[in-house]
């Protein structure tokens, strides 16, 4: 059983990362208004959030710039239009997907960029490519984290090999990512122990990015905090792909560090997130996402179910059970 102090006290090493624009952008193809992005930046500043993830560094040869909003690509000048010189404690992050970005060209020297943190996203079978991206970003002067996706489908032995390879790289943080929202707190505790073993060995930090298919994103995140995980992803109103993520308002309300302030988050939700919902942008827990979470499946079928505005849940359940 955890020490109650792990949950009642605060650790100065905890970092909160706002992933609203990036994970939330998967819901609306990154079409956020300039006002939304500017106000989100200010809300994060007032709330004491440590990092704000603006979106992806996607390859413009691979993805049509006319079919996505600008935060799919995160041009440095677009970020600078929002943050200026960013003479604040809030750091700027972007995500770079293995195989989906032209990192050699599109990620420039840190000294010329408003970006502080490059978040490399990889699957287990692309770890060597991820290491090359990590080394490239570190040489350019960035902080670097690595999100190992879909670990609920991984074998423990494969995961340990991957963590050992990453541990030997210059990465700063490696992330537990419950891509399918399939994991339970007891599983998170065991996985966190594995990650922390390699983090301690190589002098790294550990983070968590949780999805809410089974309404456990918040529970899994605070489980990880109690286990010693320091970097915590969250989104406003849990906005994110499919069932969404750990809600920022829940997380900041839970953390005991006086640097965090939940009021600006509540204000931003009232002024902006409710408007998105009213405009028809759809995300969050629903039965179809529960089903893919229970079956440890990628939520693409549930996303399609949602887009088609279906409500024949029992038929969908039979479809995904057969697929599984």
Tell me: the pLDDT tens digits for 230-243?
999 999 999 999 99
Contact 201, 167 (CB under 8 A): yes
pLDDT value at residue 11: 81
* Residue 130 backbone dihedrals phi, psi, to 5 degrees: -65, -40
Which residues 6+ apart lie within 8 Å of 52 measured at CB? 17, 18, 21, 40, 41, 44, 90, 91, 92, 93
SS3 at position 75: coil
Measured CA to CA, the distance from residue 165 to residue 310 in angstroms comes to: 44
Q: Say what the pLDDT of residue 282 is.
A: 96
Note the pLDDT tens digit of each residue in 261-280. 999 999 999 999 999 999 99
Determine the pLDDT at residue 322. 82
* Cα-based distances in Å from 7 to 11, 56, 148, 223: 10, 33, 26, 9
Identify the segments of the chain with pLDDT beneath 50: none
Spatial distance between the Cα atoms of 42 and 40, rounded to a whole number of angstroms: 5
Q: What is the pLDDT of residue 12?
A: 82
Distances (CA, A) of 255 to 10, 64, 217, 221: 7, 40, 15, 11
Q: Do residues 87 and 64 touch, judged by C-beta distance below 8 A?
A: no
């Amino acid at each position: 059983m955890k020490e109650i102090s792990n949950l009642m006290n605060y650790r100065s090493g905890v970092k909160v990362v706002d992933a609203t624009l990036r994970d939330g952008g998967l819901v609306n193809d990154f079409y956020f208004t300039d006002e939304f992005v500017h106000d989100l930046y200010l809300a994060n500043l007032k709330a004491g959030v440590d990092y704000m993830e603006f979106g992806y560094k996607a390859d413009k040869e691979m993805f049509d710039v006319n079919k996505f909003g600008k935060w799919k690509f995160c041009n440095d000048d677009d970020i600078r239009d929002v943050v200026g010189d960013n003479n604040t404690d809030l750091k700027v992050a972007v995500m770079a997907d293995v195989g989906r970005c032209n990192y050699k060209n599109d990620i420039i020297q840190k000294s010329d960029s408003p970006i502080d943190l490059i978040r490399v996203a990889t699957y287990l079978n692309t770890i060597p490519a991820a290491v090359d991206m990590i080394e490239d970003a570190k040489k350019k002067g960035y902080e670097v984290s690595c999100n190992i996706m879909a670990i609920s489908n991984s074998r423990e032995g494969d995961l340990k090999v991957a963590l050992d390879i990453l541990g030997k790289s210059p990465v700063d943080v490696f992330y537990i990512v419950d891509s399918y929202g399939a994991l339970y707190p007891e599983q998170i505790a065991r996985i966190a122990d594995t990650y922390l073993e390699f983090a301690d060995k190589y002098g790294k930090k550990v983070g968590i990015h949780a999805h809410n298919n089974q309404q456990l994103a918040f529970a899994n995140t605070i489980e990880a905090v109690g286990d010693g995980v320091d970097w915590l992803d969250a989104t406003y109103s849990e906005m994110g792909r499919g069932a969404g993520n750990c809600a920022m308002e829940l997380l900041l309300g839970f953390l005991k560090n006086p640097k965090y302030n939940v009021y600006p988050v509540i204000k931003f939700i009232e002024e902006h997130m409710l408007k998105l919902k009213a405009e028809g942008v759809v995300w969050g827990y629903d039965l179809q996402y529960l089903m893919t979470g229970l079956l440890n499946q990628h939520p693409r079928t549930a996303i399609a179910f949602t887009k088609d505005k279906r409500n024949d849940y029992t038929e969908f359940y039979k479809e995904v059970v057969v697929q599984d």
